[in-house]
Structure 1
């Protein structure tokens, strides 16, 4: 399915999210993915950080390698759940010494996992807004935060979510990266409410290219993302046809981005799942160029 030309040639900026590898095989996959995706010259990349700092060491190792062995501006996720302020400050200091100047500041999930009740640490930051303020007191960091177009599962309503986002912005956040979504009308209504609340920081849509629709539905149920019926229709009949399924997945994500571009959005945060082919196919479908590959070709020809 050929995309319209409206998105081609426009100023589309992308960033990528990765997660720390859990095995030697997954580590090889991650760095192969990074070598492929860095050709797209993303604005930045981010590396996730488990609940309660459960992936602190792997995250630090991964972030350090990004900073030392790639040209990519790299942000580390940072959570405050299950830690005192002093412990959080120690983590920040460790990452700062490794060269981190950009944090994705998150409260973090309860250690019991999705659905478990959240209890702030009595000596820690109660939420992400407090964490943002604490980071700004420590240093002049670039700070990204989260946003939820379809409401955080634990929030009473969207108004409460937007109030929290405003507190994050007022405390010094530079941008918000949204939970992934598939209904652009919902996002546009959410963004109108965000701007109406006096929040002016960029709200960057989180885009999830669909590697596996069944798995995505399970994940979406835990994080409150709505899966529209049209996705079942688009993927029907392709369960045993991986090549055709990947083609549809790339088209769906590219069409979503193209529609958001028509609505005036130009920055997108792609959840890579540490895999390059589908992400690259999405960006190829949009007609974007690969500055890194062009630079390598020019160097080889010199």
Structure 2
């Protein structure tokens, strides 16, 4: 983990984010790692925080600890049901929706920066795209400062999502989430992590024609995405690294990115 951070630190990233395990299974590990990064680096740390298994008091205590440790940025998520459950059941005296968590953080810790998730390809739990954007607007109205999207491979999905947000009156910055495909196994894992992310046929054809060059193909595709997004005025790009630095370094180097400021418009 820290080797990856060290390798990417030269790009002067705006922040490094630390995720939660599925179902909130890594709560203590997330907390400890966030605090360790805060102590050992000069980077701004964004801690993911979900509603899963947390009472209001537990969240209050966790945020108090973060605040005292100098950690002031949270990505507020509802989270997935634990143990592969189909339905989300909030903890006793907990939160049922991310918008409730956002409102709580904004009220109790008004100095904290709050990000929320967006889904350019739609959320599988909400097939109604109009409702989905309505729910996102509620999170923003509750106090979110920015939106970080789930990963996508077709920029047209992002542009459509961005326009839908504009039509709904959402004005906070939207960061585009990208993750390069580096192997066939990685491609399958990405689809699972991204709740069945849509991989364009053109990309699939390139991969299946030259399976021995999957990593090069994936890095080239991601670099082309970055170039196009920057040309279209994206507010920022968030790389999902999976704790690996080399692929991100190659993407940035191939398009002349030496500092994260070049990824913000």
Please report the TM-score for the alignment, with normalisation by the length of structure 1.
Answer: 0.81
Q: Structure 1 residues 74 and 207, CA, compared in 2 at 3 Å: closer, same or farther?
A: same
Q: Does 1:236 align with 2:208?
A: yes
What is residue 297 of structure 1 aligned with on the other side?
Answer: none
Alignment of 1:32-43 (within 5 A): 32-43=3-14
- Structure 2 contact 174–235 (Cα < 8 Å) conserved: no
Q: Does 1:90 align with 2:61?
A: yes
User: In structure 1, what is the Cα distance between the partners aligned to 2:163 and 2:96?
Assistant: 28
TM superposition shift of 1:57 = 1.6
Determine the structure 2 residue equivalent to 1:211.
182
1:192 matched to 2:163? The reply is yes
Where structure 2 has 5 or more consecutive residues not aligned to the other structure, the ranges are 261-265
Structure 1 equivalent of residue 229 of structure 2: 260
- Higher Rg of the two aligned structures: 1
Alpha-carbon contact 1:217-1:227 (below 8 Å) kept: no
Asked if 1:124 is matched to 2:74, the reply is: no
Task: Compute the displacement of 1:58 (Å).
Answer: 1.3
Match of 1:227 in 2: 199
Give a deviation string over 1:195-214, Cα, whole Å, max 9, x none. Answer: 00000011111001112234
- RMSD of aligned alpha carbons: 1.7
User: Match for residue 247 of structure 2?
Assistant: 278
Total equivalences in the alignment: 258
Distance 1:286 1:84 in 2: 45
How does the TM-score come out when normalised to structure 2? 0.91
Per-residue Cα deviation, 1:209-259 (whole angstroms, up to 9, x for no partner): 1122344235425613211111122223443x3xx4322221110001111
- Partner of residue 298, structure 1: none
**Structure 2 residue aligned with 1:141:** 112
Name the SS of the counterpart of 2:233 in structure 1.
coil
Q: Match of 1:166? A: 137
- CA separation in 2, counterparts of 1:170 and 1:194? 13
Query: How far apart are the structure 2 equivalents of 1:93 and 1:37?
Result: 29
Aligned 8 A contact 2:177 2:237 in 1: yes
1:218 and 1:273, CA in 2 relative to 1: closer, same or farther beyond 3 A?
closer
Say whether the 8 Å CA contact 2:13–2:259 is kept in structure 1: no
1:26: which partner in 2?
none
> Structure 1: which 5+ residue stretches go unaligned?
1-29, 292-302
Alpha-carbon separation, structure 1, partners of 2:252 and 2:204: 23
Match of 1:201 in 2: 172
CA positional deviation for 1:82: 2.1
CA contact (8 A) 2:220 2:251 kept: yes
Q: Secondary structure at the match of 1:104?
A: strand
- Bigger relative contact order, structure 1 or 2, given CA contacts below 8 A and separation 6+? 1
Q: Structure 1: how far apart are the matches of 2:184 and 2:152?
A: 13
Deviation for aligned residue 1:37: 0.5
